Amino acid sequence: MSRSIHNLSLTRRALTAASTPEVVARLREIVGAENVLIDPDKVEPYAQDALKEKFPPEAVVLPRTTEEMSEVLRLANERRFPVTARGGGVGYTGGAVPVEGGIVIGTDRMNRIREISPDNLYVITEPGVTTYALQQAVEAHGLFYPPDPSSYKTSFIGGNIAENAGGIRSAKYGVTKHYVIGLEVVTPTGEIIRTGGRTSKNVVGFDLTGLMCGSEGMLGIITEATLRLLPLPEATRTVRATFHTMREACACVPQFTRARVTPVACEVLDRNAIEAVESEFAFGIGAEAGALLLVAVDGAIEEVERAARVVERVVRAGGAYDVIRSETRDEEDRLWDVRRALSPSIKKFGTLKFNEDVVVPRSRVPDLIERVVDIGRRYETFVVNFGHLGDGNIHVNFMCDREDADAVRRARAAVGETFAVAVELGGTISGEHGIGYVKAPYLEMALGGTTIAAMKRIKDALDPHGILNPGKMFA
């Protein structure tokens, strides 16, 4: 591939020093011959992420230890080849994809949970553990790791941290960075540093832990993480409510706050989203539906019962004409089927999905969706909006045919306009997915040149040779 659908200015460069026999031999010495992949078939799975644009690495290196990782980085600095770290490889902006070639470091083999401390409410883990495996492991101790990106079954915790992953529960519990209290990191130049520690309070030096969260693998590679845990909530309840209009649905959100309820999840589907799932799965949501809300609350049993009744009262008062409140875990699970049906339902509208996760102050969501629907109409591109209404983070999905160059061009233009609208409404271009190579051309629109310059100074200070994940974030 010579040109990216998602970032047209990107063209793949020539081979780097990573392809030289001496470097390959040295990599084999460091991690063992069987842990350096150069065969095209074996490298292939490491060439792309959820976007399915292929940028094959020259080699894949699979270290087991921090020391091996450090040696690989030192070699990369010595011989000046690019290094891109990869977790589960399920991102939407290409953070784990080697757009400038060089090697990919897979964290697949660094997959042990090292310690779970119920008494001190932390877990220490290697980066290659899936979010799901981590959640299951701590829940066995009655503990709770709240961040839950929808990729949780396949994403790695190291990738979650590097991308500062969000998810459905963030309206109440915040995002990944709010749970990271300590890291071991290999810096771009190959030093091993420790940031933070095992306590959630820690003000010793600059907050490098925070800086690493969401740094998209450009400032260091995470080799160990200490994550803060909470007690596992006793129960959850969900209310599903159908409205005639998006404005009615959105107007309920501040009413939850006024009733002193903070939903753990507050998801919304717009008219197109509802039509898509109805046409595929027939949930029985009427054609007059303009918006559907899924509101979950959690806590102690008595508390969730009370909170769910408050939510029901608020949505009914707010104009919902079809309201279901779960009373059991099974009922709740069925209510969420609508949300889970979304991705499979919209596939038929195009082989290429521009899944953009803009975010606006939540009161501006109705304006955002109106504007996006209009953009879709003008560019003759089918668009589905859904997402995390509780924190204003809406997934705008423009659908088109990957082989239809004009349709792709129109969808790209629609994406650009959507970003501009999000910024205009007081929001920004990404709430969850990050920048990667995909959104790099829009960074200046969101941040302005002075702020970007400060970011670049930090990048240059920590990565003087530009080794780590080049071609990302900065256009």
Residues 418-437 that bind a second copy (CB under 8 A): 426-435
Only one of the segments 277-285, 299-307, 348-356, 369-377 lies at the binding site for a second copy (rule: CB under 8 A); that segment is 299-307
Nearer to a second copy, 23 or 76 (CB): 76
Binding mask 172-201 for a second copy (x = CB under 8 A): --xx-xx--------x---xxxxx-xxxxx
Distance CA 48, CA 4 (A): 12
Between residues 10 and 462, which has the closer beta carbon with respect to a second copy?
A: 462
What kind and span of H or E run contains 21?
A: helix 21-31
Interface of this chain with a second copy, residues 17 to 46, rule: CB under 8 A: none
Q: Name the segment binding a second copy (CB under 8 A); options: 279-287, 329-337, 353-361, 402-410.
A: 353-361
Residue 121 CB, nearest distance to a second copy (Å)?
7
Judged by beta carbon, residue 38 or residue 455, the one nearer a second copy is 455
Q: At what angle do helices 405-424 and 365-378 cross, to 10 degrees?
A: 150
Helix axes 301-317, 246-258, angle to 10 degrees: 140
Among the listed ranges 39-47, 312-320, 324-332, 442-450, the one in contact with a second copy (CB under 8 A) is 442-450
Q: Is 286 in a helix, a strand, or coil?
A: coil
Least distance from a second copy to the Cβ atom of residue 46, Å? 23
CA distance readout (Å), 243 to 316, 319, 363 = 9, 6, 17
Point out which span in 21-29, 118-126, 348-356, 397-405 binds a second copy (CB under 8 A): 118-126
By CB under 8 A, name the one of 28, 306, 316, 334 that touches a second copy. 306
> Judged by CB, which is closer to a second copy: 415, or 429?
429
Interaction of residue 473 with a second copy, rule CB under 8 A: yes
Residue 121 binding a second copy, by CB under 8 A: yes
Within 202-241, the residues that bind a second copy by CB under 8 A are 202-208, 210-211, 213-215, 218-219, 230-234
Backbone φ and ψ of 430, nearest 5° = -155, 125
Regarding 462 and contact with a second copy (CB under 8 A), the answer is: yes
Alpha-carbon distances, residue 346 vs 107, 154, 334, 352, 418 (angstroms): 32, 21, 20, 10, 19
Neighbouring C-beta atoms of residue 21, cutoff 10 Å: 7
- Which tokens belong to 182? 């300590």
Does position 302 bind a second copy by CB under 8 A? yes
**Which range, of 81-89, 274-282, 289-297, 453-461, touches a second copy by CB under 8 A?**
453-461
Q: Are 384 and 272 in contact (CB under 8 A)?
A: yes
Count of residues that bind a second copy according to CB under 8 A: 95
Interacting residue with a second copy among 19, 20, 48, 117 (CB under 8 A) = 117
Tokens matching residue 377? 């109409």
Q: Which of residues 51-110 bind a second copy (CB under 8 A)?
A: none
Place of tokens 């994940």: 469
Q: Closest separation between CB of residue 111 and a second copy, Å? A: 24
Alpha helices of 92-226 — where are they, by DSSP H?
131-139, 157-163, 170-173, 208-212
Window 321 to 350, contacts with a second copy (CB under 8 A): none
Q: Find out whether 415 and 356 touch, Cβ atoms under 8 Å.
A: yes
Torsion angle in degrees (nearest 10) through CA of 81, 50, 132, 122: 40
| Least distance (Å) between residue 426 CB and a second copy | 5
- Burial letters for 349-377: b for 16+ Cβ neighbours within 10 Å, e otherwise? bbebbbbbbbbbebebbbbbbebbbebbe
**455 contributes a contact to a second copy by CB under 8 A:** yes
In the window 357-396, what residues touch a second copy (CB under 8 A)? 359-363, 388, 391-393
Which is closer to a second copy, CB of 60 or CB of 308?
A: 308
